[in-house]
Amino acid sequence: MITAAQFWEWVIKSLILILVLTGGFAYVTLYERKVLARIQARVGPNRAGPFGLLQPVADGIKLIFKEELTPAGADKLLFTLAPVITVIPALVVTAVIPWGETITLFGKTYTLYLTDVNVAILYIMAVTSISVYGITLAGWSSNNKYATLGGLRATAQMISYELALGLSFVGPILLTGSMSMLEIVRAQQGLWFIFLQPAGFVLFLAASLAEVNRAPFDMPEAEQELTAGYHAEYSGMKFALFFMAEYIKMIAVSMIGATLFLGGYLSPLAMLSGLPVIGWLFASGPHWLFLKVVVWLFFMIWVRATLPRIRYDRLMQLGWKIMFPLGLVNVIVTAAVVVLAGG
């Protein structure tokens, strides 16, 4: 039976997580624009606030006050629901990711994670697969040929790459003997799984880019072919929700990847945590997870700035003919090594 104190603790943690993700998404957009500008020898946003720091606020206000148009031939209910169906899974998928072990406040110890379930990986796979419904419905309900094509592409792409993504999860599960994200982090205290699972890491990296429709796998919103893809008919706050979902998904996959392969909240410099005054900086905690997520996001932005969009048939070939077989081989080899090493 859950107590009132546990309930309110869960509510407060949920609100903090939602605020971090919704606030974080706004500044990931600024981070991306600044990084892209530096790569392309430009300045980037620098008008709204000092160093352009208020640019996300200005963009948000602009989108709130934009007129919302619904096409005459659209299915109005699904057209309105689609952005919501896309953004909610992006928010709730992070519920099983631990930010740290425990923290003591006012003499009471609190855990630094929302929940620790022994089927966390299954939960992540189930929730991430729901977001494709929102994109597909957005394309279909718009009653627009370009939007429908974008929705169909998104469906085919996500289904193709979910197989490789699922197989990349199996390596850390076999090495840990658990599907709990907390147990996976604890199992990496001696050595991060990126060194034991390099093939799994590369698979996850590529499949996660395809899952969140990021370059070079941004086929569902290929501007040159499909105007704007599945959200061609959206404007105002509905468009903002799609925008929000994409960047929150970027943060979510970065958190999942950092937890599975980069030790999550574990510090690589834990041996220096005993130093006076600055020792806490080297101790394991949420700040290390944050740093790893920022580096992962930088890589995603760097890929967008560097690589051209690949052709749709090549995208499918990569998913089915290269990544899927590679994932199967990685699982078989990992399972054999675990069994031979004594489980």
CA–chain centroid gap for 33, Å, is 18
Q: E-strand spans in 47-188?
A: 102-105, 108-111
pTM recorded for the entire structure: 0.91
For residues 110-128, give the mean pLDDT: 87
Nearest-angstrom CA–CA distance, 199 and 202: 5
Q: Are strands 102-105 and 108-111 parallel, antiparallel or unpaired?
A: antiparallel
For residues 79-100, give the mean pLDDT: 89
State the pLDDT at residue 168. 93
DSSP reduced 3-state for 44:
coil
Tally of CA atoms within 13 A in the half-sphere of 167 that contains its CB: 26
In this structure, what token pair is assigned to residue 180? 């709990």
Least confident of 119-123, 220-224, 327-331, 337-341: 220-224
Domain ranges of the chain: 19-44+57-340
Residue 168 burial (CB < 10 Å; 0-12/13-18/19+)? buried
Nearest-angstrom CA–CA distance, 181 and 122: 11
Which H or E element spans position 103? strand 102-105
φ, ψ for residue 207 (rounded to 5)?
-65, -35
Do the beta carbons of residue 282 and residue 273 sit within 8 Å? yes
φ, ψ for residue 110 (rounded to 5)?
-120, 145
Residue 201 has pLDDT above 90, yes or no: yes
